[in-house]
Amino acid sequence: MSVAPTTSLPVVLVVEDEALVRMTAVDMLEDAGFAVVEAATADAAWTVLETEPAIRALFTDIEMPGSMNGLELASRVAERWPHIRLVLTSGRARLRDQDIPDSGQFVPKPYHPDQLRSAFAHA
């Protein structure tokens, strides 16, 4: 999915390998007033980030297949695009916000819409 550069909504890239979980996150974020772009892996997300300048936030699962996990993706994004806010999630790993690059936020799975809104407000 590509976002029109003229959108006035903040654009979030959702990275989640489980399709149903990704769809749920997309719905929650769209209901919260965000425009959303999706990717199933960190590798696919990197490609999206290189071609979509409108992205302002990254919401990624930590554990996923591919050449990098979500934490590595977040670290690389913080280095290359420091303006992109970071929110990470996991059903297995438990991180403190201090463990997330660039003052990012951690939201444990399962999460609720109010937890996502709060995380993005503080990222």
> pLDDT value at position 2?
47
Q: Note the pLDDT of residue 7.
A: 57
Low-confidence stretches of the chain (pLDDT < 50) are 2, 4-6
pLDDT recorded at residue 4: 47
Give the residue carrying structure tokens 């997309």. Answer: 26
Are the beta carbons of 109 and 91 closer than 8 angstroms? yes
What per-residue confidence (pLDDT) applies to 118? 93
**Dihedral, CA atoms, 27, 120, 19, 72, nearest 10 degrees?**
170
What residues does each domain of the chain span? 11-122
Which class is domain 11-122?
alpha beta
**What would the two tokens of residue 84 be?**
């992109």
- Residue with tokens 């409108």, as numbered in its chain: 54
- d(CA 79, CA 23) in angstroms, rounded, equals 28
